[in-house]
Amino acid sequence: MQIEVESREPAASEVELLALPLVAVHRERWKLPPRLAPLARALGGRIEAAVASGEFKGKSGETLLLHGDPAARVRRVLLVGLGAESGLDAEALRRAAGSTIGAAQARRASRVALVAPPLRGPSPTAQAEALAEGAILAAYRFDRYRTRRDDPPAEVASVTLLFERAKDLRALRKAAAIGVVLGESQNLARDLSNEPANALPPVALAQAAQKMARACGLGCRVFDVPELERRGMGGLLGVGQGSANPPRLVVIEHNAPAKARRGSSSRRTTRPTVCLVGKGITFDSGGISIKPAAAMHEMKHDMSGAAAVVGALRAAALLEIPLHVVGVIAAAENLPSATAYRPGDVLKTASGQTVEILNTDAEGRIVLSDALHFARTEYAPEAIVDLATLTGACVVALGKWCSGLFSNDERLASRLARAADESGERVWRMPVWDEHRDAIRGQIADLKNTGGRDGGAITAAAFLSCFIEKIPWAHLDIAGTAYVDKPGPYQPRGATGVGVRLLAAWLRAYRGRA
């Protein structure tokens, strides 16, 4: 899909569908904005009639198609509800763009124009970015495995964003291009998460990361089993030992610093270093502590944290973010077999800490322990953020509408919360207290991999904190937000790619520890 930005009156657009976002209206006192008078005349008063009759109320996600004079340039106008004026933000614009694309596909309109509404909140550039994001995200489909379709969906070839009397068209076009990058990067994460497990074992996930890195000019290293053994990554190896598909550790670098001198392992950089760590369990059966059969097919999404890291690194590269950004992915498949790790086993992690296994379905924190240790010791970053579909307990606590945020650093937590608000990928701060850390202390080992049902999402985060030491760190539990079974304005069923826009917003605003 091509996204364009123009400055012209809506009535002058020669497109198959013109989308007109409107705020929630009150029939008694609603008046058509003067700037839309030419369009209203072209439609013969149909906009005013739709509002006066109550047929269109402007609720968020609401749409109404109006037909104009066949001789006019604009023959079909789609009224799109933005919701209450008090709640208008970038997320409302993403939803409006998503509703527009859905309506255009249903009506087989390939060329669409979308009028940017005059808002008091988001700036024109923020509007252009959000509208472009929403359009790209809404056009996403994962249908590569379908061999036949009786009624194939229509493709929207182009969307023109109309900004009347734009003062800086170049800035608006740049902002829209950023929105396209963010949307496409999130769609890449969606693709990876939606892939069936037989098509995306750990090795294939590593290859997909390498392919993205080559395309975007990033560095990428993949550690195989012998290298993992050399580094003592007993957590990642232990979880993966039950599968015929061996585990991998993937490291992607944006703005990797040059060596200080030839033959030296030390590095030289003036850019701050931040690490993004992703859980990459390409399929989670639960292992010996096997999951119930119902909905187990959704466990192909258990690598959504890793997918978000791949998408975020792509965005960092294409947006030329002036940071040294490192993505670390712990990829494994958790299956039961004669070689699988067992409840009661003790694993030695790369940090040297030992973990008593009480439940093999609490495997994500085990592989992350090695990845977090690697990020901390290899790069000594200013901050580490990990993403993981870690616990069902977080879904119980926050539902499907919000990710859990855990952190040992107030500044990092507040910046991530701000990025979540900007990106529309909501988070909610959760505590990690000493009592939660006490709950995961082991009896025959240093730690145990579950603290029980009570506070399960928090004790899982407490476990991860044992591998961080004093580096500012945040953990995002995306178990409830990584995939959905009910579509939204710009979100089809399946993987969401959650975390890509949030991480990109955080990286774009990053100003170092101070």
Distance CA 444, CA 238 (A): 18
Residue 495's φ and ψ, nearest 5 degrees, are: -65, 145
Marked catalytic residue, from 59, 174, 271, 291? 291
Beta bridge partners of 234: none
Active site residue 291: yes
Name the residue among 484, 478, 480, 479 with its Cα closest to residue 501. Answer: 478
CB atoms within 10 A of CB 264: 9
CB atoms within 10 A of CB 103: 20
Distance CA 187, CA 54 (A): 37
Strands 2-6 and 17-22, bridge-based pairing = unpaired
Helix (H, G, I), strand (E, B) or coil at 315: helix
Q: What is the DSSP letter of 298?
A: G
SS (H, E, C) 221-260: EEECHHHHHHCCCHHHHHHHCCCCCCCEEEEEEECCCEEC
Burial of 348 (0-12, 13-18, 19+ CB in 10 A): middle
Please report which helix (H) or strand (E) contains residue 79, including its range.
strand 76-81
Residue with structure tokens 């669409």? 112
Marked catalytic residue, from 94, 279, 314, 365? 365
Burial of 380 (0-12, 13-18, 19+ CB in 10 A): exposed
Active site residues: 291, 365
